[in-house]
């Protein structure tokens, strides 16, 4: 793979990404895929999908897990519903995440990723924190058996909080999918500074932009087209270069309800990234 191939976040029947045809139309050579709905994660579909990617000349670089009942409606709802942190759904979601990883393996993909949720900010010895560590280890160990690594999407944690957690989980196949816009949307820190701190763990990234909220951390910031927000994209790429990241630049634009606008804005984002790469 060349340095920094463009990518786009894609979906088949679940998630906020674009359809494969859009990636093809925009000439984007890599995708990350939101895991399709449970009923469609079959070996037959895996084979069919792999064949389709081959025909389109698109490489799959990561599969993102997502779960029923998750909602990003507002920050408190996100805290309550996302990832492996909510206790009531933790065990079932962990099993589902392993099954998603097995499906990713059937797709020939060695990276699985997810939003783990708002990790309780406490230290080792606190049961709430320890149980999230335990479940993360369990998933890391399962995906390792598949020859895969697990990437945690950024946003819900500060850079320091995430570093602490990565160290406490202590697994050599646990990394970070860095999303600079999420740091702004969630109000968890300046993205470029955070990237410098987490740099050595960053193995995949999103190119997404956002504006800070008036009350960061209490209300959502606003996701906007790439280049129109407060992530300094030139500084972002420069920092990615400094930390030695040479993987895909995966564009995310989370407006699936407006597919034409989504495609047009991703097209512009591809342009912008090509320019900045130069
Ligand atoms: Mg993202």
Q: Residue 275: what pLDDT?
A: 97
- Structural domain includes residue 1: no
Q: What's the half-sphere exposure (Cβ side, CA atoms, 13 Å) at 15?
A: 26
| Sign for the pseudo-dihedral over CA of 58, 59, 63, 64 | negative
Q: How confident is the model at residue 125 (pLDDT cuts 50, 70, 90)?
A: confident
- Structural domain includes residue 207: yes
Q: Residue 122: what pLDDT?
A: 75
Give the domain extent around 188. Answer: 6-277
- Structural domain includes residue 69: yes
- Structural domain includes residue 100: yes
CATH code for the domain in which residue 187 is found? 3.20.20.150
| Distance in Å, CA 249 to ligand 1 centroid | 12
What mean pLDDT comes out for the span 264-268? 97
| Distance in Å, CA 73 to ligand 1 centroid | 16
Q: How confident is the model at residue 81 (pLDDT cuts 50, 70, 90)?
A: very high
- Structural domain includes residue 124: yes
| Distance in Å, CA 179 to ligand 1 centroid | 5
Higher-confidence residue: 106 or 123? 106
Number of domains in the chain: 1
Q: How confident is the model at residue 256 (pLDDT cuts 50, 70, 90)?
A: confident
pTM for this prediction: 0.96
| Distance in Å, CA 250 to ligand 1 centroid | 9
- Structural domain includes residue 49: yes
| Distance in Å, CA 125 to ligand 1 centroid | 31
pLDDT at 1 over 80: no
| Distance in Å, CA 113 to ligand 1 centroid | 10
pLDDT at 117 over 90: yes
| Distance in Å, CA 115 to ligand 1 centroid | 9
- Structural domain includes residue 168: yes
């Amino acid at each position: 793979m060349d340095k920094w191939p463009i990518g786009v976040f894609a979906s088949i029947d679940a998630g906020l990404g674009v359809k494969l045809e859009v990636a093809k139309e925009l000439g984007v050579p890599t995708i990350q895929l939101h895991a399709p709905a449970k009923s469609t994660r079959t070996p037959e579909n895996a084979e069919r999908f792999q064949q389709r990617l081959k025909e389109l000349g698109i490489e799959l670089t990561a599969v993102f897990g997502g779960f029923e009942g998750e909602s990003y409606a507002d920050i408190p709802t996100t805290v309550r519903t996302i990832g492996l942190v909510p206790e009531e759904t933790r065990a079932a979601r962990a099993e589902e995440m392993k099954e998603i990883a097995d499906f990713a393996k059937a797709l020939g993909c060695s990276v699985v990723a997810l939003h783990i949720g708002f990790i309780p900010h406490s230290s080792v010895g606190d049961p709430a924190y320890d149980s999230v560590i335990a479940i993360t280890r369990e998933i890391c160990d399962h995906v390792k058996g598949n020859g895969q690594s697990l990437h945690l999407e950024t946003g819900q944690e500060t850079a320091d909080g995430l570093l602490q957690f990565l160290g406490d989980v202590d697994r050599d196949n646990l990394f970070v999918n860095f999303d600079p816009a999420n740091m702004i949307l969630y109000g968890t820190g300046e993205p470029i500074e955070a990237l410098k701190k987490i740099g050595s763990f960053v193995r995949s990234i999103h190119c997404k932009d956002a504006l800070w909220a008036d009350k960061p951390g209490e209300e959502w910031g606003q996701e906007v087209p790439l280049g129109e927000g407060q992530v300094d994209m030139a500084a972002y790429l420069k920092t990615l270069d400094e930390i030695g990241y040479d993987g895909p630049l995966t564009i995310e634009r989370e407006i699936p309800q407006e597919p034409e606008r989504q495609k047009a804005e991703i097209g512009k984002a591809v342009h912008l990234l090509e320019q900045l790469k130069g």
